[in-house]
Structure 1
Amino acid sequence: MKLLVSLLTLAAHAAALAVSPRANNLQPTVSGTNIAISPSGGGTYPRLTSLSDGSVLGSFTAFSGSTKILTVTRSTDGARTFSAWGTISPPGRYDVSREFLLWGWMYLSLSQITATISHDSGRTWSFLSQVDQRTRTATNNGLWEPFIRIARSGAIQVYYAAENNSGDQDILMRSSTNNGLTWSGATTVAGATTTGRDGMPGCADYTASGQARVICIFETTEGTAPFFTVKSVISTNDGVSFSSRATVYVPTGSGHNAGAPQIVTTSAGTLVAGFMTDEEHSGGQRVAARRSI
């Protein structure tokens, strides 16, 4: 039986660790074929994961009037087609986050990141634990955009954005060594010594010079507010601490954004980052295209 965990919506700084340039002048390409993860064609914030049985689960936010529903779909043909599979419906009023099978919800004055669990390959879900929770204040204090990483130690790590005020937000991480029942205190991954809205983290494991590393990529307004660029930090100790920040991508021209990044390691060991950018548009248009580097 497949056990799935979903999450609902050390500030040690060393010299920056550089990521090697593109291997053999690699130019990433993306197929122009659209695959509908949502059977109805609607929804936002889609994410995918593969299971040990070969199936692929999709997740996205669906809408029924003003109600948001975190919806799960399933593919058994290599992610070519998807069909309805299940939902995760928390109580009260909530906001759905951006990472696969993750959500955060807000009720009255609380901001929470909540873990749920499935024992049937993602078809049904039940409450597991609160990863983080705090009272919202006049300076917002929101918790957003959780991302799950399974550490090499076997621990579950949750990376997420924690709002300090309207102009400053950090990336935090909490870990669990008992399958999500309880969680550690928060580690600051990025933002402890900078001012800007660091958000939408994503992580990937890779090897450089024979050393296992973790890269965490995120969007930020550090030095460019209100516009976003993409930066990263690197860990050489399985996520215990991270290096100082390095630039991944700055959009060309002025008044443009690059954000909502994710990163993966290919089977050849190459890191590929994807993100949204509006640099091909002008006049303040809120239109974005997806780009990979």
Structure 2
Amino acid sequence: MPEGDTVWRTAQRLNQALAGAPIVLSDLRFPAVATVDLRGSSTIEVVSRGKHLLHRLDCDVTVHSHLRMEGQWRVEAADQSTRWLRRQDLRAAVGTDTWTALGLRLGLLEVLPTDREHEVVGHLGPDLLGPDWDPGSAASRLRASGTTIGAGLLDQRNLAGVGTLWAAESLFLERLHPWQAASTLSVPAVDALVARVHRLIDTARHHAVQASTGVRRRGEETYVHARSGRPCRRCGGTVRVAMIGPAGQERTMFYCPGCQGGVGPTDEGRPQRPLGSSGRATPYRRV
């Protein structure tokens, strides 16, 4: 699932392409909004709020979208966009005379009055990349979440923008066990975790390739995420993956038992082969 840094970059790209120009193409392919016609209005701005995209128009409405697992917004030159309009996975097309924004495989698309945006994003915690970012509030919400620190990081009500990648990487770098109850962690430990995840995602938003290691070469971008069955870059032990979170809302959590306090309670401990590999481990750097 695209995380806050990817969504922020998407908002920036859409805003640069569409802001200030009249909309001449409007094709929304979700049943509830299929009859909405945005033509004649102009884009005020496109902004991100956590993992949500808010496309604000001068007709006092907002197009709200969420990428979910596989969605994306592309920007193509208007005179090159015709072929995209025939794609079966196209869910939205909004264009000016110059550029066309194409929403592919979107998980959610709706149009609502701009003054009611709070109904769809008001539940979110402080946005890691937004003007409302408040590390103290985020840390307090995590400690009071009543769940594990890993599940707490993934709960957008505590802080907005973190997904499985940045949750796993920040917990590894802070040497925290993902399944430890958030309430049992010290105040300095939670504060350091919040600072770490903010630093990671704030750096990542300026790059097309997400990396926590500082290396963007394929296979060397992360410490634990998507590296189950491979050697830990820090201790040489085996990175593992298990599910975390409340029933019905479980997410994957990659971690190193050697560096992070042992095998997780939802991990059966069976051997895990490297994801998508032929059995060979990728080279690694110790840190």
The answer to whether TM tops 0.5 is no
Greater per-residue helix proportion: 2
Structure possessing the higher radius of gyration over alpha carbons: 2
State the TM bucket, normalised to the shorter chain: under 0.3
TM-score scaled by length of structure 1: 0.26
The structure richer in strand per residue is: 1
